[in-house]
Amino acid sequence: MMTATTTASPKGRRRDGPSRPGRGGASRRRSAGPLFVAPFMVLFLLLFLAPLGYAAYLSLFQERLIGGTAFVGLDNYTQALTDPQFLHGVGRVALFFVIQVPLMLLLALLFALALDSGLLRLARVIRLGIFVPYAVPSVVASLMWGYLYGPDFGPFAQIARKVSLPVPDFLSDGWMLGSLANIVTWEFVGYNMIILYAALRTIPTELYEAAAMDGAGAWRIAWSIKIPALRPALLLTLLFSVIGSFQLFNEPKLLMNIAPDVISSSYTANLYAYTLAFTGQQVNYAATVSFLLGLVIVIASYAVLLTANRRRTP
Amino acid sequence: MSKFLTAASSAPLNRRGFLAATGALTLATSLSACGGSGGSGGGASAKAVSQADIDKAMQTPTELTFWTWVPDIAKEVALFEKKYPAIKVKVVNAGQGTPQYTKLRTALKAGSGAPDMVQIEYQAIPTFTITNSLLDLRPHGAAALKNTFVDWTWGQVSGTNGEVWAIPQDTGPMGMLYRQDIFDEHGIAVPATWDEFAAAARKLHKADPDVYLTNLAANQVAAWHGLLWQAGAKPYVTSGKSDITISVDDAVSQKLGTYWGGLAKEGVIGVEPDFTDSWYAALNKGKYATWITAAWGPVFLSGSAKATAGKWRAAPLPQWDASKPSSGNWGGSTTAVIRSTKNAIAAAQFAQFLNSDPASAKMFATEQFFFPATKALLTDASFVGDAPAFYGGQKVNQIFADISSTVSSSFQWPPFLDQAATDWTETVGKSLADGADTARALGTWQSRLTTYAKKQGFTVHS
């Protein structure tokens, strides 16, 4: 979204010179422009603006099982802003973001650098191996990890019992956020790694040669050339992660089946919106909560962009 | 059948089927719009539909859409289509239980895409009648079926003004399955009362810390409701449309809360979520010596705990008052007709035929192994005489048929069951899982539900 501009090549070349005064050339170009943009605009309107507008509209009403629908203005918003379930949900995903995302991106960066260094044997196999979890649907991943986490017959528990260690309770209150973070990390490390790795491949090798001539080792090259060059790509992965974290839904929703007493129906803000709409039949309030969650994401993304940009231009 | 098929039919909505159904419905709509077909019943007037109208409708070529999660139900549907060749029934699996209701609610709200007939569990009926989504089947002659079905099931499908909202299909009177071998090993007699049950739980867990007498799943509000039902509780009483009495924290509930909460806190029973991998493994490996379940439990268990074949037996639930045996119900479902149908007559006839026609009803018992809702089958020697080897040759169906007659008929469901279930899990269920104060959690459940109901516009009494 917002990243499109920041990550686009900064030195985009101008293909078209000064417009040639050919017959109708300029006007044809002018009429063709909107045509090219049209598919995007139509989809953007249909799939983004229209639902967004509809949600905003819905959020101003209240429909009740008895008594029908009434216009309530901003009542739903004032309710949501003091709703502990919503606030806790947002707080929880914020905490999740702060802990899980740096870890995941650091891992992705390390893997990308290791692959790019050319020192790994079987680089292709490893690259695929790290990426494969991303190809596993998150539903399947959650089911799989749910089984692995099991306190009775899960493999970790069984191993712990075999060697007479205390059984780790991955599905307890204290561990759950970490267990979820582990699943999400497992799923997305490879995805982020591929983005970073692709960015690494675009760095001109002359830079490395020059650095080597100056006596830089592999670590120094990574630190002084590769990582600075990765900034736009890192920012991109960071923004995706902001959005992903705040929308956390699949993993908690599925682990809810095996740990219903740890993961409540408002464990994450997104889950809360779902529960409101489909369990409580409070569609209007669900729209409000979703709208506010969207706002939180926009603010968080903007904050990330702002800090990153400030750092880039001291 | 609520949980019965969780494993068997976890297939999500078949999208092609759904689209086809939607398309078919649109087509049917437009057809009847131009033809003015005799089938359009016009809705809910309590005036009886004449036999001539029924005959005409049943001979008019019609396509009906039926949402159901019952596996292989095409066999029963074929019986109907054979009798009424003009009518074609399109069977769509839109998910089981809650996922299907969610889709149905969405379709109803959208105003298109809803089926003509739908599989619906007893407890979900008020959730849909409150939104005026079901067709009263009285004008279609459903009242005449009253004595075909077990008394308490008829109470479940009847509205406060005598409406017939659905036709019973199968039931789940609750009983207890137990491991004869574990009982023998520890010298435990089959508990006849809940006091004996608690004593046995303590004794068994003390003798073998790896084994628990039972597991009360902390996510399974349906079992809790069934136990409330057995104890004679009336947690939800509706009168009129907008008046509801919520008493999930009354004396009976408190008795249950103290009892089960106490056992959970002592750690002599399990509280793990049911129908999970871990739970299946636990049943297979003998972690639990009983499963408090419903009449669909025996068949379900024989399919999912094959390793323990021959070791299980069935018995009635332990009693609060051994002189007055009673039980509750868990699961079972019905067929209802959606009010927006354009073919009300044919749809209503289908719902009635499917579940009351002797051949069709019997097929449910023999093909899908449903526990019957018709009186005839519950005394049918070929059904109650079945003696499966998994239960050591015990006549399990007979036991549950006897239990069925002890189910009270006055239990009611709230018009917002999903909310009640979620709130239960997060209050009472959580207290069981954490070994916290269950009696107090009941108060929290009560106040959460009351707040919700008031916000939804109900007049709440307590």
Residue B462, pLDDT score: 75
Those residues of chain B that have pLDDT short of 50 are 1-45
Q: Between chains, do A257 and B452 touch, taking CB under 8 Å as contact?
A: no
**Number of C-alpha atoms within 13 angstroms, CB side, residue B445?**
32
Measured CA distances, B29 to B34, B53, B111, B335 (Å): 9, 19, 12, 22
Looking at the partner chain, which of A66, A154, A279 has a beta carbon nearest the beta carbon of B456?
A66
In this complex, is the C-beta atom of A119 within 8 Å of any C-beta atom belonging to chain B? no
Structure letter (DSSP) for residue B278: H
d(CA A264, CA B251): 27
The closest alpha carbon to B40, from B353, B348, B345, belongs to: B345
State whether the Cα torsion A82-A85-A87-A88 is positive or negative: positive
User: CA-to-CA distance for B68 and B66, rounded, in angstroms?
Assistant: 6
- Residue-wise pLDDT for B87-137, tens only, equals 999 999 999 999 999 999 999 988 999 999 999 999 999 999 999 999 999
Residues of B in contact with A146 (CB under 8 A): 277
From the list B421, B165, B123, B416, the residue with the least C-alpha distance to A66 is: B416
CB contact under 8 A, B276 and A265: no
Give the 3-state secondary structure of B300-335: HHHHHCHHHCCCEEEEECCECCCCCCCECECCCEEE
Select from B372, B370, B335, B366 the least CA-distant residue to B350: B335
- DSSP structural state of residue A51: H
Task: Identify the residue whose tokens are 């759950």.
Answer: A176
Task: Tell me the pLDDT tens digit for each residue of A13-30.
Answer: 444 444 445 555 556 666
Provide the shortest C-alpha distance from residue A262 to chain B (in Å). Answer: 8
Q: Looking at residue A123, what is its pLDDT?
A: 86
Cβ–Cβ < 8 Å for B438, B261: yes
Rounded to 10 deg, the angle between the A231-246 and A84-116 helix axes is 150
Residue in this structure with the two tokens 């939607």, named with its chain if needed? B22
CA distance B14 to B24: 15
pLDDT value at residue B252:
96
- Given a cut of 80, is residue A147 above it in pLDDT? yes
Task: Give the tens place of pLDDT for each residue, B371-406.
Answer: 999 999 999 999 999 999 999 999 999 999 999 999
Q: Please provide the average confidence, as pLDDT, over all residues in chain A.
A: 87
E strand or H helix at B176? strand B174-179
A-chain residues near B105 (CB < 8 A)? 278, 281
Q: What is the pLDDT of residue A68?
A: 86
Q: Do the beta carbons of residue B185 and residue B388 sit within 8 Å?
A: no
Instruction: For A133-191, list the strands marked E by DSSP.
Output: none
The CA–CA distances, whole Å, from A226 to A8, A11, A131, A197 equal 18, 18, 21, 10
- b/e for A32-69, b at 16 or more Cβ within 10 A? eeeeeeeeeeeeeeeeeeeeeeebeebbbbbbbbeeee
The full DSSP string for B122-150 is GGGHHHHHTTT-B---GGGTGGGGGGGB-
Contact B151, B406 (CB under 8 A): no
Residue contacts between A and B (CB atoms, under 8 Å): 79
Per-residue pLDDT, B47:
78
Residue in the block written with tokens 């969610």: B102
Q: What is the pairing mode between strands B87-92 and B117-121?
A: unpaired
Q: Are B52 and B78 in contact (CB under 8 A)?
A: no
Residue A252 contacts B, CB cutoff 8 Å: no
Listing DSSP states for B367-400 in one string gives TS-PPB-BHHHHT-HHHHT---GGGTT--HHHHH
**Chain B hits for A64, Cβ within 8 Å:** 455-457
